[in-house]
Structure 1
Amino acid sequence: MEEIEIWEFVLKWALARMSTQHNVDNLSQWTSSNFEELEKILHDLIPHIRWFQIPSKLFWRKVNPFKSIFPKQLYEDIMGYYCDPDTPPTNAILPLRQNGKLIGGYNPLSLHPYNSYTNSNGSWQSTSDSFLFSFTKKEEINSAYITRVNLDSQVYAVCYGSNYGPAFGSGWDLIIDRNNIIKTCGRGTYLDVYNIINSGHNHILEDYEVYQVVKK
C-alpha cells in the first residue's frame, strides 16, 4: 500500500469516529472544532505516515487541505522537503523512544561498513552533518535539544558494526546495543550528549525506527 493510500484509509477511519459525519469534499463547511476533533483522533498516527514519499501534487491535493491538524514543525519539514529535496527533513531521522522521551540521531550516510577508521569494534566515517537530538516531550517541539558533531573529531561521527544497531561517536557517544539497550559510553565526538542521555546507565528501548531520506 502506498503512503497516499494509507493516508486515505486513516482519514476514512478517523471520519467514521467523529461525533458527527462530515464531507471531506466540502471542507468549507467544516468548523475549527471539526478540525480540532479530527486532530485529536489522528494525533498519534500522523507521525507514523511517511509523508515524504507522497508526490508533491498528491500531497497538495489530498493532504494539504488538512494542514491545520499537523504539528507545525512536521508540516514545515514537508514543505521544505518539496521545495528542496537535497535538504534532509528533521523528521526523517532515526528516532529512538525511551520511557516517553524521544532520542535520536541523524546519519547522512548509508548504513554499511566505513573506511575513515576501523578496529575490531567496527568502522567509522567522517561527516560534519550528523547530530544527536532528544525531545523531553515528543509532542512539543520546544522541548527539543540538539548536539552537533565536534568538528575536531568528526572522523568518528558515525559508526557501523554488524553486532549492534545504529551508533554515533568514537567510543560510542550513542549506540543501540544488543537486547534493545541504548546507552552512551562517553562524549568524545558529541560533546553535549549527556544532555540527551544519562551517562553510565543502560536504557531499555520501547522500539526504534530507521528512516531513509531518498533524493528524487
Structure 2
Amino acid sequence: MRTEFYSSLSQNFSQLLENADDYNVTIKVGENQNTQEFHAHSSILRARSPYFKSALSNQWANKKKDGMILFTKSNISSPVFTLIIEYIYTGILDLTNVSSSDILGLLVASDELILEELFKYVQNYLIEKETAWLNQNLVKILLIVSKLASCKPLQNYCYKSICADPDSFFASEDFPILNKDIFLELVKRDDLGIEEIDLWDHLIKWGISQTLTIKQNDVKKFTDADFENLKKTINPFISHIRFYVISSRDFYNKIRPYKKVLPLTLYEDVMSFLMAENKPQQKRLPARFSPYLYINLPESKIIRRKHAAILSDRIHYKNASSKTSKEYKYKFQLLYRGSRDGYDINTFYSKVNRQGQAIAVIKIQNSEKIIGGFNASGWNYSYRNSYDDDDEYDCYNDRNKNHFIFSFEKNYKIKIGKFVSGTGLLYGQDCMIEFGDGDLTFNGRKGSCNQRSYDQPILDVNSFVAEEMEIFSIRKL
C-alpha cells in the first residue's frame, strides 16, 4: 500500500527555506529602492523550475562571489518573488490579501521561470476571481498578456469582455495608447458589439493620437500631409470596417470628411451602393453579430447595453447568459430620471403611468451595485393630487407572475428575485416603487429591500440610498 505524506514534506521544506544556513544561491529582485535578496538552494531550484535548471547548469555563465551564485531579477518585484519562492519550496500559494496587480505580476513571472503549474493556476484565478479588476484595466492587461504565448485563455477573456461592453473600453483614458495589433484584432472580430459608425469614430480618434505629426483634431484644418500620415496609420484597419452597413447619412457626415484616407475605388463603390443601390464591386463584409447590437438603448447614467441585453433575455424567458436571438430587437425608452425630473411622487407617475412594460434601475450610492425591477404590466396607477376623508388613493396589488427584481454586480453578474406569492407590485400613495411586500421599495432617494414576496433577496443589506434612478419602457421592435 502506498501512502503519501505531502503535508509533512511541505512543512519540512518550509523550514528549510526559513532557517537553512547552507544555501548557495542569492537572488536579488526588484529595482531602485525596492530591492530584496532571497537565499535558496540550487538543487531545489533546478528540480522545481526548468528555467533555473538551465540557468544553474555549467553551460550558463553565472556570476559568483565567495562560492555563492548570484542572480538579479529586477523585473520581478519582492512581493511577487515571495510568493514564487514559497511555492517552489512548499507547493503552497496563498493569494489572500495579494493585490490584483501583484497577481498579474505573478502570472508574468511564473511564465518567465517556466513554472507551468503555477502559471495555469494563476491565469484561471484571474479569470474567475478578478473579473472586476480585469474589466477595469483591459488595455493595460492586454498589452502585457498579448506577449505571452501561453496566455490565450486570458487574452480571449479580455477580447470577449471588450466585445461585450465596448463602450466603457473605448471611453477608457488608456484607449488612445492601445497597441495597434491588439486594436486590429478587435476590429477583425465579428462579435464586437458596437455600431460600425461608432467604431469608425474610435478608429479616427485612435489614428490621430497615434499620428504624432497631426497637431489638431479638426479635420477641416488637416493638411494633405496630415491626411497622408493618418492614412498610413489606419490603413491596416480599412479592409475590416463594414462600410456597407453604415447609413448614407452617417457616411456623408462622418466618413466623407476623411475621404482622402480611403482607397478611391472603395470610396466610390460604397457611395454607389448607398446612393444608387448598385451592387458592390468590392468585398462586402457581413454585419457584425453581437447580442448587444440588437438593443436600442438611449444614453443612461446607470446601465450599459449589456445590462439591457441581459434583462431583455430574462424578460423573454431565456437564460441571462445566453445570446439574444437575432430575430429580436428591443427599444428602451427613457421615461424618467431622478436627477432630471426630481423625486416627487406625482411627477414620477405623470412620467411613467400607462407607458406599458417598464424597467426601473437604481444605482446605489457609494457602491458598484445596480438594483431594480421589471414591471410586467406597466404602471397603471389612478392617483389624485388631493382628497378628503371620503376619498382614498387607488391602491392595487398587481400579481403578474412575470414581475421580477434584480441586482447587478460590476462584472454583469445578475441576481434575480422571482415573484412567488402575496404582493407582486403595489401601486400606492407612499412609494414610487414597491415590488412585493417590501422586497424592493423606493421613494425619494431612500429605499429598502426586505425579502417576503419574491424567492430571494437582491441585496445583502435592508436599506440603501440611491445615487440615481431611471425608468425605461421596453418594447420589442
Match of 1:37 in 2: none
Asked if 2 retains the 8 angstrom alpha-carbon contact of 1:93 and 1:104, the reply is yes
Match of 1:205 in 2: 466
Match of 1:3 in 2: none
Matches within 5 A, 1:25-40: 26-27=239-240
Q: 1:164 to 1:144 in 2, by over 3 A?
A: same
Match of 1:145 in 2: 415
CA distance in 2, matches of 1:212, 1:14: 30
CA distance in 2, matches of 1:106, 1:68: 20
Asked if 1 retains the 8 angstrom alpha-carbon contact of 2:427 and 2:434, the reply is yes
CA distance in 2, matches of 1:174, 1:121: 20
Match of 2:324 in 1: 80
Which of 433, 448, 451 matches 1:183?
A: 448
1:169 aligns with 2:436: yes
Number of residue pairs aligned between Structure 1 and Structure 2:
160
1:94 aligns with 2:360: yes
**Structure 1 residue matching 2:376: 3-state secondary structure:** coil
Larger-gyration structure (1/2): 2
**Structure 2 residue matching 1:111: 3-state secondary structure:** coil
CA distance in 2, matches of 1:113, 1:69: 33
Deviation track 1:125-161 (CA, whole Å, cap 9, x = no partner) reads 1111111111222xx23x32111111x32xx211223
Which of 101, 113, 138 matches 2:381?
A: 113
Which of 122, 133, 152 matches 2:406?
A: 133
Q: 1:68 to 1:80 in 2, by over 3 A?
A: closer
Q: 1:22 to 1:166 in 2, by over 3 A?
A: farther
More helix, by proportion:
2
Which of 154, 158, 162 matches 2:425?
A: 158
Q: 1:83 to 1:198 in 2, by over 3 A?
A: same
- 1:108 maps to amino acid: A
- 1:166 maps to amino acid: I
Deviation track 1:27-49 (CA, whole Å, cap 9, x = no partner) reads 269xxxxxxxxxxxxxxxxxxxx
- 2:451 maps to amino acid: R
1:177 Cα offset (Å): 1.0
**Please, which runs of 5 or more residues in structure 2 have no aligned partner?**
1-194, 211-232, 243-283, 294-304, 314-322, 333-357, 383-391
What TM-score, normalized by structure 1, do the two folds share? Answer: 0.55
1:173 Cα offset (Å): 1.4
CA distance in 1, matches of 2:404, 2:361: 12
- 1:26 maps to amino acid: S
CA distance in 2, matches of 1:168, 1:64: 40
**Please, which runs of 5 or more residues in structure 1 have no aligned partner?**
1-6, 30-60
Asked if 2 retains the 8 angstrom alpha-carbon contact of 1:145 and 1:196, the reply is no
Asked if 2 retains the 8 angstrom alpha-carbon contact of 1:102 and 1:134, the reply is yes
1:68 Cα offset (Å): 9.9
What TM-score, normalized by structure 2, do the two folds share? Answer: 0.28
**Structure 2 residue matching 1:17: 3-state secondary structure:** helix
Match of 1:65 in 2: 288
RMSD: 4.3
